[in-house]
């Protein structure tokens, strides 16, 4: 995997309320960052990237799940646009059964990262599957998931309608959608407007140090927490 950049993430417990404590160092091929997840204290995860990207939106969503004390054990979770898989892998380590999805071109890297970071006994709980928004949705049963996650997936205007359609397909009455977003352009707000037309949407967290918003969406007026 010479062509890939390797990043290591260490998850101590003490940084949970101290985002400024997140550290990043860089050598030629290896970056180290620290992120807060209590339950997987001390574990270092290793990810391969084609291009080192900003995974902070995924990290902030991991931290939100931790801060809220959301019990993920045996929950059925799907992640859209999983990219490196950081979020889905952490959620698997926290006890969920997770389907990590992305476009076909992203799956090899995603699968490598899942294999590299999950112990053999947890691997059956993480399934990597192609899901291009709006396509072949029949491969995913509506109502099969308790939680639908997306980190940094609201950024391409031409995908907004398909992304919304995918969320509508996947989200049952009892399911919860959590999206971590950075509002980079005015058009990103258009997606939130579209989302609000189909779901009850609330902003449940804002990390000002990282400029990351977390939105929760549910069907109807249901407001139950996980």
By the criterion CB under 6 A, which residues form the site for ligand SAM?
55, 57-58, 81-84, 86, 102-103, 106, 132-133, 151-153, 156, 159, 162
Kindly state the smallest distance separating residue 182's Cβ from ligand SAM, in Å.
10
Kindly state the smallest distance separating residue 88's Cβ from ligand SAM, in Å.
9
Cβ pair 91, 40 in contact under 8 A: no
Q: For the chain, first and last CA: distance in Å?
A: 38
Residue 40 has φ and ψ, to the nearest 5°, of -110, 35
Residue 19 vs 81, nearer CB to ligand SAM: 81
Residue 58 vs 126, nearer CB to ligand SAM: 58
Kindly state the smallest distance separating residue 222's Cβ from ligand SAM, in Å.
26
CA dihedral 183, 186, 188, 193 (to 10 degrees): 120
Q: β-pairing, 212-218 with 200-207?
A: antiparallel
Residue 68 vs 130, nearer CB to ligand SAM: 130
Q: Show the CA angle centred on residue 37, arms to residues 117 and 147, nearest 5°.
A: 80
CB count in 10 Å sphere of residue 63: 27
Residue 40 vs 55, nearer CB to ligand SAM: 55
Kindly state the smallest distance separating residue 212's Cβ from ligand SAM, in Å.
10
Residue 1 vs 221, nearer CB to ligand SAM: 1
Kindly state the smallest distance separating residue 81's Cβ from ligand SAM, in Å.
3
Q: β-pairing, 76-80 with 147-151?
A: parallel
Kindly state the smallest distance separating residue 121's Cβ from ligand SAM, in Å.
25
Cβ pair 91, 79 in contact under 8 A: yes
Residue 16 vs 156, nearer CB to ligand SAM: 156
Which residue shows structure tokens 């390797």? 6
């Amino acid at each position: 995997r010479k062509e890939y950049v390797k990043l290591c993430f260490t998850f101590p417990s003490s940084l949970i309320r101290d985002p400024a404590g997140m550290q990043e160092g860089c050598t030629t091929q290896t970056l180290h960052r620290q992120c807060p997840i209590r339950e997987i204290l001390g574990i270092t995860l290793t990810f391969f990237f084609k291009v080192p990207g900003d995974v902070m939106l995924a990290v902030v969503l991991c931290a939100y799940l931790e801060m809220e004390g959301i019990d993920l054990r045996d929950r059925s979770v799907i992640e859209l646009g999983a990219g490196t898989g950081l979020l889905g892998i952490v959620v698997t380590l926290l006890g969920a059964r997770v389907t990590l999805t992305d476009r076909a071109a992203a799956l090899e890297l995603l699968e490598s990262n899942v294999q590299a970071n999950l112990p053999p006994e947890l691997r059956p709980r993480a399934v990597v599957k192609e899901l291009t928004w709006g396509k072949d949705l029949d491969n995913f049963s509506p109502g099969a998931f308790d939680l639908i996650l997306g980190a940094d997936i609201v950024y391409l205007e031409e995908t907004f309608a398909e992304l919304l359609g995918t969320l509508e397909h996947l989200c049952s009455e009892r399911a919860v959608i959590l999206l971590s977003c950075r509002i980079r352009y005015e058009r990103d707000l258009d997606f939130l407007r579209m989302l609000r037309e189909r779901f009850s949407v609330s902003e449940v967290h804002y990390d000002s140090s990282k400029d990351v918003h977390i939105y929760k969406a549910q069907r109807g007026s249901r407001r139950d927490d996980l």
